């Protein structure tokens, strides 16, 4: 789905994102933007870091870009955990101009959906944590090296949904529980 210029001023018309992620983002975009602008003014914040896991990662991705485009003076960083593919290759290319870190874990299926065959692509900036808790920087979009998410999990049949929960980081941070 194409992006509205009111929320993404100046974004190229070739950029498309998943309609479900976009509609979820749009439902809170105005309130979040108003709150962030007020907090930045109140606390003289120099950096705004937008963080999310899973669907929250997709929304953080959209929110970070929208915040920066609507307020270019903001220094925006985007950090996501187990984020799905949000948009097309033009979206991935566009995101490469941002400070983005995508943390993925082992055989998590979420970072490989929606599929590339459907026209979706992950941007650069992946840090993949393997089963030995080794952190690998994966350069490029949808890196197919086996030490990166797309290479480690080439399809959902080779995945483990439990890996979506973590652990993320050396202290073993878990997102949610196996009972969610």
Residue 48, in any domain of the structure: yes
For residue 156, is pLDDT > 90?
Answer: yes
CA dist 41 and 77 (Å) reads 18
- Domain extent, residue 154, equals 19-165
Residue 107, in any domain of the structure: yes
CATH number of the domain encompassing residue 158 = 3.40.50.1820
Q: What's the pLDDT score for residue 46?
A: 86
CB proximity list for 165: less than 8 A, separation 6 or greater? 174, 175, 176, 177, 178
For residue 124, is pLDDT > 90?
Answer: yes
Find residue 105's DSSP bridge partners. Answer: 129
For residue 180, is pLDDT > 60?
Answer: no
Instruction: Quote the number of domains for the chain.
Output: 1
Residue 121, in any domain of the structure: yes
Tokens of 110: 């979420």
Mean pLDDT over each residue of the chain, to the nearest integer? 93
* pTM metric for this prediction: 0.93
- Could you give the residue numbers annotated as active site? 54, 108, 164
CA dist 2 and 16 (Å) reads 5
For residue 175, is pLDDT > 70?
Answer: yes
Residue 180, in any domain of the structure: no
The residue ranking higher by pLDDT, 68 or 178, is 68
Residues 96-112: tens digit of each pLDDT: 999 999 999 999 999 99
Residues 3-58: tens digit of each pLDDT: 788 999 999 999 999 999 999 999 999 999 999 999 999 998 989 999 999 999 99
Residue 135, in any domain of the structure: yes
Residue 138, in any domain of the structure: yes
Residue 170, in any domain of the structure: no
Residue 97, in any domain of the structure: yes
Helical spans, DSSP H, in the chain = 19-43, 55-70, 89-95, 149-152
Q: What's the pLDDT score for residue 131?
A: 85
């Amino acid at each position: 789905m194409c992006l509205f210029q009111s929320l993404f001023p100046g974004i190229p018309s070739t950029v498309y994102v998943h309609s479900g992620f976009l509609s979820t983002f749009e439902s809170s975009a105005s309130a979040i933007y108003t709150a962030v602008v007020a907090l930045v003014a109140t606390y003289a914040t120099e950096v705004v870091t937008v963080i999310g896991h899973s669907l929250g990662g997709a929304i953080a991705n959209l929110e970070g870009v929208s915040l920066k485009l609507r307020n270019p003076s903001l220094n925006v960083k985007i950090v996501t955990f187990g984020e799905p593919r949000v948009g097309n290759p033009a979206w991935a290319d566009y995101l490469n101009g941002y400070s983005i870190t995508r943390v993925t874990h082992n055989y998590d299926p979420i970072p490989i959906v929606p599929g590339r065959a459907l026209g979706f692509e992950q941007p650069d900036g992946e840090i993949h944590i393997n089963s030995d808790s080794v952190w690998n920087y994966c350069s490029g979009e949808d890196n197919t090296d086996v030490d990166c998410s797309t290479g480690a999990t080439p399809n959902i049949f080779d995945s483990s949904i439990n890996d979506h929960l973590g652990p993320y980081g050396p202290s073993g941070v878990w997102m949610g529980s196996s009972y969610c």
